[in-house]
Amino acid sequence: MAVAVQIREAKEADCGEIMKMIRELAEFEKLSDQVKISEEVLKTDGFGENPFYHCLVAEIPPEHRDPLGSTLAGYGLYYFTYSTWTGRNVYLEDIYVMPKYQGQGIGSKIIKKVAEAALERGCSQLRLAVLDNNRSAIEFYKARGAKDLTVAEGWHFFHFDNEAVREMVRK
């Protein structure tokens, strides 16, 4: 049965459920060991004086909630970046819909709201990364007009973990 969720800005009180979904997403991606943040860090980083990120949630209407279950069906976590070539960008770090709510257009509603936020802020691009084995997500993004830069332009995305950053500073 399709549920008419409301997409809204996350509140600090949502961080427990968002953290649960972050762990579910990491488990799906077989990368659970890489989740290092806690609910408290999520609260501080998203709802402190200078938030590092923005988050949208898909809220389940009260009449469809499981008495002991979640009040949220999914989330989209994003932040603004800057490109020296194209100017303002938005980066969609995560988009996740709980399995029992997938296939109901919730992911589409979340990404549409992120796109609206990008346009409101004058962004020229919406960027994201997806694991190569997540074919359904790749097709989801392509169906909405995303271009696979790995294929089209040969870009590879890198990151330096905390130890590598510390080593770079020491040298």
Residues 6+ apart with CB under 8 A from 76: 55, 56, 92, 94, 95, 96, 110, 111, 113, 114
From residue 84, alpha-carbon distances to 9, 11, 93, 170 in Å are 29, 32, 20, 28
Using DSSP's 3-state secondary structure scheme, residue 170 falls into helix
141 in active site: yes
Among 75, 91, 96, 141, the active-site one is: 141
| Catalytic residue IDs | 141
